[in-house]
Structure 1
Amino acid sequence: MTLAIEKEISKVGTETVKVNGFYLHSKYNPLREAEQIAKQEYKPHHLHIVFGYGLGYIVDALIKEFHFNEPILLIDPLMDHNYIDVFNPTYNRFYSAKANDIAKIIDMVDKLSTYSTNVHIITSINYDKLFPLELKNVLEIVKNNHYKQGSNIATAKHFAVAWQKNLLLNTNNILSDFTLGKLEKEYTAPVVIAAGGPSLTKQLSLLKEYRNKIILICAGSTINALIANNIMPDYIVSVDGGEPNARHFESLSFKKEVSLIYGPTNHYKVRDSFEGKGYAFIPSVKPKYKDYFENRFSKKLPLIHGGGSVAHYALSIAKYITTGPIALIGQDLALTNDQSHATGVKCNKSAKDLPTSKKVLVEGYYGEMVTTTQTLKIMMNSFNEPPLLDTERKNVWNCTEGGAKIHSIDQLPFGEFLEKFTNEEAPKIVGEVLDQSTHIEEEFFNTEINNYNKILKLLKEGSQVINNSIGLKLTSYEVNKIGKIEKELNNLYKKYSLETLLEPIFDRCSHEYLPKVNETSVESNLRAKNYALDLYTSCYQQIEYFIEQLMSKENKTI
């Protein structure tokens, strides 16, 4: 695209600019126009994405409007070819990205749009006419991120109790098992990752034929499809903490030749199906778990990147354990042949059973348009985004031969991959037989319950201090008392790793009790008291409910 850029002097003497005949600022009074736009567009506690810099008037005016150190992300196609100069303001939360750097934009939006930060897009004057395709890309990125963030919030809330329970009941397993670090770069053999998409079925005959020449990693529930075809993997990766995941494994039993690779919040019953020692890791989204196991138990576990599905973790694990070539099969991420999964996978559904509103079209493996769901689309995008996006590793191929196209991974027919990279038997590192009970020890279980009760006592004390406070503002004595309680609580939360259980409450309270613009001291004091009371009361109820679930006859496992 050829761009003709002309600078002019406005009616009030301030410089303005015109691109291909379109003014990017007022030709009368650019500064006043920018101030009006900034006042109208500013939204407290939002990430502001400004599409179009021009001469910077709107960005400068917007920053002056900020009250709460909000982040601002500038994207301008004119930056791509150095048509304009961006004068980075001294504002400490100013970020910029070129419009053609999609990976950076995705990464920046993901990092800056936290649970408590909404996103507001401001399209500068005439940029929608000059760069409609680039604007469309930005809007799509923000839309996908909004859906992903919403899904993350809902998932964290829904699984808070289950994940915390799995962490507790997996602790003895993890202490008895190997760390995944034991397998770091131990293989040079080719690794095949079998996911449960519909296209897996057509690859099974080749998988059988070359089985002894590869290391086979199975992604979670795919195991039932493999077993139905008499194929046994070397490793099964499992990260899902829900009951449905446990049901995939409830009737299965594996000798030491098949090893489980899992994270702390994986459903604790899955471990019972494995005779041999497993390998434990920490999902990179839960770095505090790494500190928990290192500080409390001196157990060092590696951080592994994921992206919302077990297949993402499986890919990261494959890269972690081998320097050899890696193939993905069954990674459809689409409703191939009107099915959600391969034959034999227990959660397989017909596309006809899914509402039309949940279906979207994406580019397919062969360049055609294929039908998928919004959830699968997010999983597909995760392969193309940091941290899974890997431009350095050149020996990873998508050999699914169907489904959606993963743009960041080269494609190769599965038969060609096997013929090219397999020439001898791939030796498997066989683990040891587990010589301890995989159930948590009763002494440790009871100790944790006592620790949780200590936290409940502190939360109750904090609530009583606030409830007994007479004025709108806490006295210095009450503030000091709350401060001591808060310090002790934070130490206990960290020591006993309760972040998963309480994270939804922390996020909700931080979002609901944000300060208002021009807030009075009375409003500020009342907000602070309501925030603290809500936080303590909600945390108390959540932990109390968690203890009840642990102590119930149905759930207690010792």
Structure 2
Amino acid sequence: MRKNSSWYEKYANLSLCEPYGEVHALTPVTARNNQPSVKVGDYFLHSPYDPEKEAERLANNHFKSGHFHILIGFGLGYLARNLFNKFTDKKDYLLIIEPNLEVFQYALTTIDFEPLIKSNQVGFVVGEKLPELNKYLELYINNYFKEIVIIELPNYSQLYPDLVLKIKNILTETTRDSLLNINTVHFFASDWQQNFMENLFRAIKSKPFLDLLNKLSCPIIIVSAGPSLTKQISLLHTVQNKAFILCAGSAITPLLAAGVRPHAVVSIDGGETNYHIFRELDLNTIPLIYDLVVHRRIVAEHNGPQVVFSSIPTESGLAKWTRHFLRKEIGYLLGGASVANFCIDIACKITSGAICFIGQDFAYTENKSHADNHKNIKNLSGTEIRNNERYFEVKGYFGDTVLTDTPLQAMKRAFEEYILVRRQTGDQRSIINATEGGALIEGAQNMAFKEFIDTYCTLDYSQEISNLFLNEEESENIDWCHYDKIINGERKKLLKIIELCQKANKKIGGIKPGQETIDADVLIYLDKIDKKLQSLLKKDLMHYILGPVAFRAERRFPEQARESRSERCQRILTKSKALYQDIYEASLFTEKCMEELLDKFQALKEINSMK
């Protein structure tokens, strides 16, 4: 039978990727111990004496249990197999990156690595497919936090120095972005849960974003709050209704200060800081497009037209629950770390016209954080920049270099990836960066803002813009029974979860310290509780607040090297107790939010009954 038969047809007849740098000839060789090996150019990919022994040594030096291992260079698979053979933890993972397709094709016919191919704990990226690598890493890095090991096959840095550097840069950037996302989720978990629950009340009468799809043909100008907005803001007065002005979050303050009232403002941030930006602004004539997790008081205090959307994928448990509760599909938007990431998705989905963005610096242009008149504007001093490693330079709009940091670069990469996906799916409309400053945005066409206005903003779109937010006549009758039934039903489930967690921790608390094993009756009891909890939690109502719980439990109690049986037993018990306690506290918090939501419905019900 042919070696690696499941993959032979997939890779054996592929043409080589475009060579990266200098092309090196592949030469099969035999090591001193008679094992097959290979040279690429003048470089051996394995030991010329004993490839297997070299691989064992490297695997022993680099392997870490429960970690995500990234191997740059497959060669003939000696090191990959030795790493794989050390797997004992279900979390062990190996991602193999082989940039040379010819080497991989030779390996297919020379050695048997079928076990690696079939394992769900091993992944392959073959050929120079850096965009695919980026997406691959994003899927896994969030689950491993800092538990990542990078291993390089000997001589790959000499053969492919630029490519290896690119791969390492992608690893660094993706890891940095993922850590930023993880920290954000952990910091805002409780706020997002409370915002979601309270915003459901206003979402009942808000227009679903789905109703806006493909309703416009006009250009859309996305206005962000970057420093370069200051020099362009006056030109917005010349646009009037010749384009739809979409305000990205906090850019509302410089816009209003300049006397510009956008056609809509988008808000997604669930933090208190975001609320303070919107507080006391006169926005009732400006439609608000909001995510269900935006700060609850922004939605509650806005009395103008409202459009609601969700940043949770439509097939998730929480999205299905939301549809059932609201009795309507509100629409999903693809976003990122910035409100501007949501704005470009909004723009692409509601119009067939050109998309333009201004104030989208993704950088500290002229050492400023925001445009003039922004509530949080900050000027960076030379001393602060020199003494702070968070700041670094990237390629600028004009081919120069500009100052930026990790959060801004994460937003920019998400922006660029979105544009790339739109192009790959056939969207060839004009996407124009008219910021005239800040960082270069790959995939967008640079154009002066005045030139964009003169080229694209030539027709009057007043009618279609004014029709966009018109609501159909709605009945004032609210089906109170529907909401009462759902809310009270969920409260009963939450109270049951609380009870189960208390029982589980009471059982764990009764186990004597120092035991080497957990009694079978205790395991059976806890297993029954776990099955009941899984059933009660499957609808994902506590999506936001429970998100960090399992993550914390895994990382607070890692397996220790050479731990005794009693130490292992105690670690598992402590970890389980912490997990039950976190679920207990999350359920208490969510039940309180449910109670407050029910009170709002009851108050409105009483008001309506008196009419």
- TM-score by shorter chain over 0.5: yes
Cα deviation, residue 121, structure 1: 0.8
Equivalent residues of 2:191, 2:270 under 8 A apart: yes
Q: Does 1:468 align with 2:510?
A: yes
Quote the offset at 1:47 in angstroms: 1.7
How far apart, in 1, do the equivalents of 2:291 and 2:127 lie?
A: 37
Contact 1:192–1:326 at 8 Å: present in 2 too?
yes
Q: Distance in 2 between matches of 1:246 and 1:542?
A: 24
Offset of 1:549 from its aligned partner? 8.9
- Residue number among 53, 66, 74 corresponding to 1:32 in the alignment: 53
**Percent identity (aligned):** 27
Preserved contact between residue 305 and residue 316 of structure 1 (Cα < 8 Å): yes
What is the Cα deviation at residue 241 of structure 1?
A: 0.5
Q: Which one-letter code corresponds to 1:401 in the other structure?
A: E
Contact 2:433 2:447 in 1 (8 A): yes
Note if contact 2:217-2:352 (Cα within 8 Å) is conserved in structure 1.
yes
Match of 1:394 in 2: 428
CA contact (8 A) 2:289 2:308 kept: yes
CA shift for structure 1 position 250: 1.0
State whether structure 2 residue 415 is matched by structure 1 residue 383: yes
- CA distance change for structure 1 residues 448 and 346 in 2, over 3 Å: closer, same or farther? farther
**Residues 465-497 of structure 1: per-residue CA shift (max 9 Å, x gap):** 222245654444433433343333334434471
Partner of 1:539: 583
Q: Give distance in 1, aligned partners of 2:149 and 2:443.
A: 28
Q: Which moved more, 1:383-392 or 1:110-119?
A: 383-392
Is the deviation greater in 22-31 or in 4-13?
4-13
Q: 1:290 to 1:445 in 2, by over 3 A?
A: closer
> Following the alignment from structure 2 to structure 1, what is the Cα–Cα distance between the partners of residues 475 and 365?
44
Task: State the partner residue of 1:19.
Answer: 40
Match of 1:272 in 2: 300
Find 1:187's aligned residue among 188, 193, 216: 216
RMSD: 3.2
Aligned to 2:470: 431
The match for 1:64 is: 85
1:263-297: CA deviations, max 9, x gaps?
A: 11100111134333322111147944312202444
Q: 1:462 to 1:388 in 2, by over 3 A?
A: farther
CA shift for structure 1 position 213: 0.8
Deviations 1:92-139 (A, max 9, x none): 333232563221111111112133352211111011122221111111
Deviation at 1:186, TM superposition (A): 1.6
Q: Is the 8 A contact 1:196 1:219 kept in 2?
A: yes
Amino acid at match of 1:123: E
Q: 2:543 aligns with which of 499, 520, 523?
A: 499
Deviation, 1:542, is: 4.5
Structure 1 counterpart of 2:98, from 61, 76, 87 = 76
Question: 1:142, 1:207 → 2: CA distance?
Answer: 40
> Residue 259 of structure 1 contacts residue 431 of structure 1 at CA under 8 Å; is this kept in 2?
no
- The one of 331, 337, 344 aligned to 2:373: 344
Q: Which moved more, 1:91-100 or 1:25-34?
A: 91-100
CA shift, 1:363, in A, is 0.6
User: Cα distance, 1:43 vs. partner?
Assistant: 1.5
Quote the offset at 1:518 in angstroms. 8.4
- Superposed CA deviations along residues 21-62 of structure 1, whole A, max 9, x for unmatched, are 121111111122112212221111222111112222222222
Q: Which residue of 2 aligns with 1:216?
A: 245
Change (3 A) 1:96 1:420: farther
Structure 1 pair 111/386, CA: closer, same or farther in 2 (3 Å)? Answer: farther
Superposition deviation, residue 384 in structure 1: 3.0
2:4 alignment counterpart: none
Aligned to 2:200: 171
Q: Is the 8 A contact 2:202 2:300 kept in 1?
A: no
* Aligned residue number for residue 448 of structure 2: 413
Q: Deviations over 1:223-270 (max 9, x none)?
A: 1111111111122111100111111111123345x2211111100111
Q: Is 1:404 equivalent to 2:439 in the alignment?
A: yes
Change (3 A) 1:423 1:129: same
1:172–1:496 CA distance, 2 compared to 1 (3 A): farther
197, 219, 228: which is aligned to 2:257?
Answer: 228
- The secondary structure found in structure 2 opposite 1:511 is helix
Name the residue aligned to 2:364: 335
What's the counterpart of residue 528 of structure 1?
A: 572
Aligned partners of 1:278, 1:78: CA distance in 2, in Å? 53
* 2:289 equivalent among 261, 281, 286: 261
1:49 aligns to 2:70 (yes or no): yes
TM normalised by structure 2 equals 0.82
Query: Is residue 191 of structure 2 the alignment partner of residue 162 of structure 1?
Result: yes
Unmatched tracts of structure 1, length 5 or more: none
Quote the offset at 1:144 in angstroms: 1.6
The TM-score, its normalising length taken from structure 1, stands at: 0.90
Write out per-residue CA displacement over residues 498-527 of structure 1, whole angstroms, 9 at most, x where no aligned residue.
Answer: 121122221111234455688876665444
2:498 matched residue in structure 1:
456
Please give the alpha-carbon distance, in whole angstroms, between the structure 2 residues aligned to 1:548 and 1:293.
18
Give distance in 1, aligned partners of 2:278 and 2:323.
Answer: 29
**Counterpart in the other structure of 1:483:** 527
SS for the counterpart of 1:211 is: coil
* CA offset digits 1:293-351 (Å, max 9, x no partner): 02444332322111111110111111121222111111000011211111122111112
| Segment of structure 1 superposing worse, 380-389 or 317-326 | 380-389
Which stretch shifts more, 484-493 or 36-45?
484-493
Cα–Cα, structure 1 residues 547 and 208, in superposed 2: closer, same or farther, change >3 Å?
A: same
Which aligned pairs between 1:186-205 and structure 2 lie closer than 5 A?
186-205=215-234
The residue that corresponds to 2:16 in the other structure is none
Count of residue pairs brought into register by the alignment: 553
Report the Cα distance in structure 1 between the residues aligned to 2:226 and 2:106, rounded to whole angstroms: 47
Contact 1:217 1:234 in 2 (8 A): yes
Q: Which residue is equivalent to 1:310?
A: 339
**2:177 and 2:406 in contact (8 A); partners too:** no
Offset of residue 551 of structure 1: 8.9
Pair 386,10 (structure 1): closer, same or farther in 2 beyond 3 Å: farther
Q: Go from structure 1 to structure 2 and tell me whether the alpha carbon gap of 1:463 and 1:367 turns closer, same or farther (over 3 Å shift).
A: same
Correspondent of 2:395 among 359, 363, 380: 363
Specify the alignment match of 1:107 in structure 2. Answer: 135
Greater alpha carbon shift after TM alignment, 530-539 vs 491-500: 491-500
Change in Cα spacing, 1:97 to 1:160, as seen in structure 2 (3 Å) is: same
**Larger deviation, residues 373-382 vs 463-472:** 463-472
**Cα distance between partner residues in 1 of 2:126 and 2:198:** 47
Q: 1:367 to 1:84 in 2, by over 3 A?
A: farther
Give CA deviations for 1:195-217 in whole Å, capped at 9, x if unaligned.
11011122222221013111111
Mapping of residues 97-136 of structure 1, within 5 Å: 97-98=125-126, 100-116=128-144, 118-136=147-165
How far apart are the structure 1 equivalents of 2:183 and 2:290?
23
8 A Cα contact 1:246 1:270, kept in partner? yes
One-letter amino acid of the structure 1 residue matched with residue 122 of structure 2: F
Are residues 226 and 82 of structure 1, via their aligned partners in 2, closer, same or farther at CA, if it must alter by over 3 Å? farther
Please state if 1:96 is matched with 2:140: no
Query: Structure 1 40/538 Cα, relative in aligned 2: closer, same or farther at 3 Å?
Result: same
**Are the equivalent residues in 2 in contact too, given 1:365–1:404 (CA < 8 A)?**
yes
Q: How far apart, in 1, do the equivalents of 2:212 and 2:445 lie? A: 26
**How far has the Cα of 1:425 moved from its partner?**
1.5
Amino acid aligned to 2:47: S
Larger of the two Rg values belongs to structure: 2
Distance across 1 between alignment mates of 2:104 and 2:87: 28
Letter in 2 for 1:465: K
CA distance, structure 1, for counterparts of residue 170 and residue 432 of structure 2: 25
Tell me the residue number matched to 2:10. Answer: none
